[in-house]
Amino acid sequence: MSDSSIKPIVLYGHGPTPNPRKVQIILEELDLPYTVKDVELSELKQAPFTNINPNGRLPAIEDPNTGISLWESGAIIQYLIETYDKKEALTYTSIPEKYQLNQWLMFQMSGQGPYFGQAAWFKHYHPEKVPSAVERYVREVERVIGVLDGWLQKHKFLVGDKLTYVDLAFVPWSAGVPWLDSDKTIDMAKYPAYSKWLGDMLARDSVKKVTGS
């Protein structure tokens, strides 16, 4: 149960975009009170939003319990875990696990998010068709899936012997692969360990609530 003395954290997002959903899933898992403030895309690059995030991107949070505002989803997740996950439900403080958690979160931020995002852009939103860009980024999506599958063939979770925040951090972008790769150029049958792991994540109540599935 959440602590009734904790004031709702404000999460700035926009519709079903993956990066705010990463944060929202962690808020749900930790049973923290929060509100989602929808920011129109036309408002991102100007005040008052740039007073919170000078980079003009989503997500961002404001935590009235500490007076802290943060942007960048990875930094936000680390803050929420370190501040509120006192029972280590989604984390480890032991070594080497806490550094391995950081390792996988950095991979999600630098590997999965940008490549999946570029694949989505060139496949679905770019005004001109650029086949070479589509091919490059879809292949990068498959490479990332392959890295995860290779690890998960030998490990049930990304770190240690329990679900942690890094498993959940991969979920929103991974959940979008069927839409991103709508013409099925990626043979998901080649990645059974990844598919089972993702299926387990998608079945969690927190994920179903956030994604509406």
Cα-only R_g, the chain: 17
Q: Using CA atoms in the order 195, 200, 206, 210, what is the torsion angle rounded to 10 degrees?
A: 20
| Percent of the chain scoring above 90 in pLDDT | 93
Distance of CA 37 to the CA centre of its chain: 18
pLDDT digits (tens, 9 = 90+) for 111-152: 999 999 999 999 999 999 999 999 999 999 999 999 999 999
Q: Is 90 exceeded by the pLDDT of residue 69?
A: yes
Joined together, the tokens standing for residue 1 give 């149960």
What was the pLDDT predicted at 2? 56
- Angular region, 67: left φ>0, alpha ψ -120 to 50, beta rest: left
Q: Is 90 exceeded by the pLDDT of residue 182?
A: no
Q: Is 50 exceeded by the pLDDT of residue 1?
A: no
- CATH class of the domain at 9-84: alpha beta
CATH assignment, 97-207: 1.20.1050.10
What average pLDDT does the structure give for the chain?
96
| Burial class of residue 92 in the structure, from the number of CB atoms within 10 Å of its CB (0-12 exposed, 13-18 middle, 19+ buried) | middle
Would you list the domain boundaries of the chain?
9-84, 97-207
Q: pTM of whole model > 0.85?
A: yes
